[in-house]
Amino acid sequence: MIPPTVRRGAGRASCHHGEILQGVFLDAGGRRCAGLVTLPMSGLGSRAEFTRRPGTPPEQLTVLPGDRTKAARAAALAVAECALRRREPPCGGELRITGDIPVGLGMGSSTSDVIAVVRAVADSYGMRLAPDTVARLAVRAELACDPLMLDARPVLFAQREGRVLEVLGPCLPPLVVVGCALGGGAPVDTLSLPVRAYDDTDVRAFERLRGLLRRAVATGDAALLGRVASASARQGQRLLGHPEFDTLADIARRLGAVGVQIAHSGAVAGLLLDPAAPGLRHRVRSCVRALESNGIAATRTFTSFLPRPASPASFPPSFPPSSPPSFPTTKEFPSGPAHRGGHRPTGPDSPRRPARLPAL
């Protein structure tokens, strides 16, 4: 039996499969800001359980695994937020995090941890925080975050500010994604990458891609989305420099993929296929064979199919009233490589190491 002074909460968050578009864009006021659009992926995620102990000092916060420093910061921030709303003093507690997202591949593992923790803390207070509040806390905890708190709706998201620049539409065009890991799945040390300066020409190019992506979402045009993702991926290669990228792009051209996408902060990548085109199963199998014959590890094949309804309460006030109340889910494509359960290496805040590729 749980003592009356103990309150428990649970939270979960999913991951993504890298970016469809990333760059520098103009906000509604004409100010430049970094932004991205992620490719949602379900199945993998982080889970958190928070046991709140009212009456204990807030610094008495224990975290398992102990090296999840970003998650620990998120827990402390969420406790302060929720306690203020409940007009209670903040307190300590115990936090336990589990998950199966490979780290270091650019799939949002640390953001997933942080969001799961914020949700668990809020649940221990009997609350559900709005997505824009979760985003604000996530940015404070890890300086930049992915839009995983928005539950897969296609948005252009300012990752360093935790705000939505634009809701692009109700859901992504249907896609089949043949996933892979470049560089053998070796983690990308994003902190060691040079900081690129963007000029007005670059911003205009990114704004053009933004407009094309908006049109692709509005019309359900998988081919146009593939063009945008490929252009963005090639831009990202100026910093990432994956040696297999040209091979990946060549496979896409030869086998009828509509484009390629990559993680701009990791090694995960994908071939994008239009499920409405003929011979889909054959093309999926051909893509997997071509990847593996070129030494690129194929991981998971999944889809971005079929929107499901979202609760109107899940939309933050900053979303325009016209935002469609639906968003895409993903599921594994049956003819692709089977998803095999794996254990997520502990410590997304510890030095990155190659993920176990079957965990994808």
- Tell me the percentage of the chain whose pLDDT exceeds 70: 81
Q: Please tell me the predicted confidence (pLDDT) of residue 47.
A: 98
d(CA 189, CA 68): 18
Residue 359 vs residues 80, 149, 180: alpha-carbon distances, Å: 35, 23, 12
d(CA 160, CA 20): 17
d(CA 264, CA 281): 28
Is the model's pLDDT at 348 over the cut of 70?
A: no
Element (H, E) at 256: none
The answer to whether 96 and 49 have CB atoms below 8 angstroms apart is yes
CA 94 to chain CA centroid, Å, is 26
- Among the listed ranges 53-57, 125-129, 318-322, which one has the minimum average pLDDT value? 318-322
Least Cα distance to 66 among 355, 348, 333 occurs for 348
Q: Give the pLDDT mean for 251-261.
A: 97
Q: Please tell me the predicted confidence (pLDDT) of residue 354.
A: 37
pLDDT tens digits, residue range 229-244? 999 999 988 888 889 9
- Among the listed ranges 6-10, 68-72, 170-174, 335-339, which one has the minimum average pLDDT value? 335-339
pLDDT tens digits, residue range 274-324? 999 999 999 999 999 999 999 999 999 999 864 443 333 333 333 333 332
Please compute Rg for the chain using Cα positions: 20
Q: Please tell me the predicted confidence (pLDDT) of residue 339.
A: 30
Q: Please tell me the predicted confidence (pLDDT) of residue 252.
A: 98
Is the model's pLDDT at 84 over the cut of 50?
A: yes
Q: Please tell me the predicted confidence (pLDDT) of residue 314.
A: 35
Q: Please tell me the predicted confidence (pLDDT) of residue 331.
A: 43
Is the model's pLDDT at 43 over the cut of 60?
A: yes
Least Cα distance to 179 among 239, 107, 121 occurs for 107
Q: Please tell me the predicted confidence (pLDDT) of residue 312.
A: 32
- Tell me the percentage of the chain whose pLDDT exceeds 90: 72
Q: Please tell me the predicted confidence (pLDDT) of residue 285.
A: 97
Residue 178 vs residues 109, 121, 227: alpha-carbon distances, Å: 20, 36, 16
Q: Please tell me the predicted confidence (pLDDT) of residue 347.
A: 38
Q: Which residue has the higher pLDDT, 163 or 188?
A: 163
Output the average pLDDT for the chain: 84
d(CA 41, CA 263): 13
The pTM assigned to this predicted structure is 0.83
Q: So what CATH class is 7-359?
A: alpha beta
Is the model's pLDDT at 343 over the cut of 80?
A: no
CA angle 185, 152, 47 (to 5 degrees): 65
SS3 60: coil
Q: Please tell me the predicted confidence (pLDDT) of residue 106.
A: 92
Is the model's pLDDT at 124 over the cut of 80?
A: yes
For the chain, what are the domain ranges?
7-359
SS3 331: strand
Q: Which residue has the higher pLDDT, 346 or 113?
A: 113
Helix and strand totals (H; E) in the chain: 7, 13
Q: Give the pLDDT mean for 44-48.
A: 96
CA angle 306, 307, 312 (to 5 degrees): 170
pLDDT tens digits, residue range 181-234? 998 777 766 656 666 788 999 999 999 999 999 999 999 999 999 999 999 999
Q: Please tell me the predicted confidence (pLDDT) of residue 237.
A: 86
The answer to whether 101 and 44 have CB atoms below 8 angstroms apart is yes
Q: Give the pLDDT mean for 314-342.
A: 34
The answer to whether 235 and 264 have CB atoms below 8 angstroms apart is no
